[in-house]
Amino acid sequence: MKPSNNSVWKGRIYDGDLCLGVREKSIAQNTTYLDSFANRIGSRTWQSIVTEEGLTAIKKLLRQSATKSTAVSCHWIRSRSRSELLWVVGNRSKFNEEGVVPVNSTRKDVLNTQWENDWYLLPHIKSLVALAALFHDWGKASEWFQSKLTTKSNQAIGDPLRHEWLSVLFLHAFVQGETDEQWISRLAKGEFNKQVLIKQVQQNESRPVAELPPIAMTLAWLILTHHRMPMSTDSNSREVALDNPKDLFKYYVKSDWQYQNKFDENEYKKNLKRCLDFPNGLPSDSILWLKAAKKWGNKLLPQIERACKPNCVNAHSLKFPEKENHYEQHRPRKTQSHGR
């Protein structure tokens, strides 16, 4: 039996349809019972609106006449597309855990899950991308960037340090040399010390990604590349084959790989201080931002082991643009402390 649209309890009556499916070599006695309670809608299927007492009576009668070959499933039809298995009388092996009858079987591995279906990683990719989206624009909270938002100028002004590099500095400062499990646990609790973060960012670490644990390094890569890929400015540089991608951050990538504008040394030094000053606060001051960070931190915490797998790390970089503007679209508009 399967119950139907808008199925809810009203007193002791099912406000919806019940559907019974029978699998048995000899079903004469059972069909007699079911025909007296429900409408037959197939050779071995019945459907009806029934009270709880009526349903109990049906189940009792079926049990009394059950044989080794009896298999009856009762479903509550919740909606046109969804039903709920209530009980099975007889041989449960004839149905799966949802009360559905298999129509065919094979010993062949027709799914080829090992190489064709990687979507089991989707929840982990979503968590990584969401956190990257939340951290990717922290650098825009700087006094330098905020002043550009309010200064009317037709001339493009290059940042001494680009905002994505500053955002990576903040991620590095938050991780504090901890393992992924440790810093994500703090994130899930919403533990941010603004003064400590700003002080560490002002040290302007030359290679902030180099010693990060795997998940933090993955987030740093997403943040760092959401506008441009790192590229050496050394005209004599050549391609280097790396066995371990971590070596790229440890030995090569620095702020001068397209993340700083240092055309005039004096101007650079003067404006760099403004890039490392955050008088209007940080995104973590926002209740909305903090709520989202805690949510995704809690989601990622039990996923740490799988999220570190190479195929997950490779796949998520394709997904970042979809999440890039999520926080910007939902944050309060009256403050510019972490605006564009």
Domains in the chain (CATH in brackets) are 9-94 (3.30.70.240), 119-150+157-233+243-330 (no CATH)
Lowest mean pLDDT: which of 81-95, 239-253, 255-269, 309-323? 309-323
Average pLDDT, rounded, for the chain: 75
The tokens of 18 are what? 């019940």
Cα gap 267→272, rounded to integer Å: 8
Query: Does residue 230 register a pLDDT over 60?
Result: yes
User: 254-275: per-residue pLDDT in tens?
Assistant: 666 677 777 777 777 778 888 8
Half-sphere exposure (Cβ direction) of 186: Cα atoms closer than 13 Å: 15
| DSSP, res 101 | P
Averaged pLDDT, 42-66: 86
Least confident range of 178-187, 206-215, 243-252:
243-252
Write phi, then psi, for 65 (nearest 5 degrees).
Answer: -105, 5
- Kindly list the distances between the CA atom of residue 201 and the CA atoms of 37, 148, 210, 217, 258, in Å, as whole numbers in the listed order: 74, 21, 15, 17, 19
Helix axes 180-189, 214-224, angle to 10 degrees: 70
How far does Cα 339 stand from its chain's mean position? 24
pLDDT above 70 for 104:
yes
Pairwise pLDDT comparison (249 vs 103), residue with the higher score: 103
Residue 86 has pLDDT above 70, yes or no: yes
DSSP secondary structure of 167-236 = HHHHHHHHHTT--HHHHHHHHHHT---HHHHHHHHTT--SSTTTT--HHHHHHHHHHHTTT-------TT
Strand, helix or coil for residue 300: helix
Q: Where are the beta strands (DSSP E) in the chain?
A: 9-10, 13-14, 17-22, 39-42, 45-48, 71-77, 83-90
Mean pLDDT, residues 99-109 taken together: 78
pTM recorded for the entire structure:
0.55
Q: Give the pLDDT band (50/70/90) at residue 189.
A: very high
pLDDT digits (tens, 9 = 90+) for 300-333: 988 887 766 655 555 444 334 434 444 444 444 4
Q: How many other C-beta atoms can be found within 10 angstroms of the C-beta atom of residue 88?
A: 18
